[in-house]
Chains A and B, each alone.
Chain A
């Protein structure tokens, strides 16, 4: 009897989560229908115009999609050398030592810092440096937000890469050493290739985090509703435009913001799915 009850509770809990996810998707889709009816799905995605003035009202998501991809990929690029070094330090050179566990706790601590704190730090500490470097006059923009974003995703990329690098079998590495290879060559030709799909998956997951990161980016990107002119330019990501404008939005504008939310949701879902597939392929080897 108790067993049956417990099973029912578990079943109910699982069902609730499914219903909840379905509910989120339903409300996103139903509320963005106005926009898609007005412009068509492709019309909305491919239009870079975002003009909320009542007389010339027109909404398109392209500027924000480009802004999102721009910041996320640039952040990923900055993050790679750092997280890879951390992964090698913890998973290969100092594997299992006290130093390694200290480093990994500090890196994990980075993951626990709230986004808004990163935003504040970026605003008051990194922005002056960006200005001093002469990137642009105000400091705000793709460059600044990508740097802060890169630091935010390092723990995600490094902890998973560490795992995969330390999983490379010891007898494989010894085999390479026994042929006279140096440590660098063992890493380059044995450890990295063996762990490669895991490392790729780690970076895809980190990219997923970067795409959806909102608060810090909103504070740093400059919030202009145009396709960013380049690394030095300002812009908006999908997440930041929603955070910035949902409060005063109604009608078609609100529907368009929700449609952007739906697109962001779909993109991150696909990214996570790809990462899972890459890891699944790895576990089969």
Chain B
């Protein structure tokens, strides 16, 4: 504790913002300089910041908040500037740090129209600030602020650099998530005013750790349910959960490639992260009552997203719908409220970020070459751009949850956890979910292989057969994709890299009554909602 390195998280959070300001200050004409500077900032953050976190993070104490910094911020409502990370946040921060420079590299010669690298790169860096900030924030208001900071750059990215229908998509994205945020901040404020300890003293705090220790004690059941509901809307829309997902396909389809990648890789995780960092640890009792419904929406999302994919004619839209399905697995893992399930969710978040990121990258590159993503016009990618075709094949295999690649570790443990959910949850209900989710894996294989067959296999269609525009991956694409591909394999073969990091933190975040063995339950003096009465007699 003597050497806390309390500065590092703030530096990681705000350095991209400073970078963005500096890019704004550089005159417009000097394009290479803009790109170089953005790459320098994000790359340095990855190498030095990420490296620093990896070397200094104490993996033996992964359940504790590390690199914490706590200072007063808005004293009038006792909102403090608290940052810190544990084993649950670290993987997501590293994912963010990785994805951003890769996006900068990828966009090096892929800037979408209207070509304006200065603004584009500045937006990416502002996004990075928002994303990292959300993952490190340990105060509800601070969390909320960063959560919202992310919205604007993404809005502009879609609205300015997007496809034909960009105005509609960007506005929908913005308003929908903002609507959720409104309910979320209401929930936060209610917590602030309603939280009181068992002695009846008001807590009056937004400190997530303090609230986690409080765990909703003395809060009336209905208040707990409502507050959880507010958070559920805020986070659930962001995830996005069925039936709040409709902004996602539009946003993804219209967003520029890099926007899609960031959206899929990191932004969606803000929602799930909110669940496992805030909603479930702070209000475990409400979580137990909500979990069957969350699980239900999750498995509906799995099947529904997969069926939606099968109906798509546009490759990018298909990948977007597959996100609904995959995030369904993550949410199913979360809904079980077990260490297994939430570890799977953390793994699933990282894996989905990498895999869907790659899929969007490849889709973007296909669009650039073929000027269309309509599946029935594509075909024979393996003949025209063999390496890209193989990367697409690899990514689809990873996406359908092939063991040995990262996707499996988000999917299988989530299904497994549903067999035996946390105390207080109905086994019958969750076992039904388990079977439905397992059926979802078949559909996932179906739509992904179908996509692969129609785009990569076969002969190229006549209109593109002689197109000189169509070439294999460029060196920028290789550099941007290689780290993700390598990580997909490495995490798939050595899953403990991630499980070992997240496991202690996940275990600590859950109410002991949720995960205790049946024999130990009686000693814990648990509230009735955890089902001790059933266990006791």
Q: Do A and B bind each other?
A: no
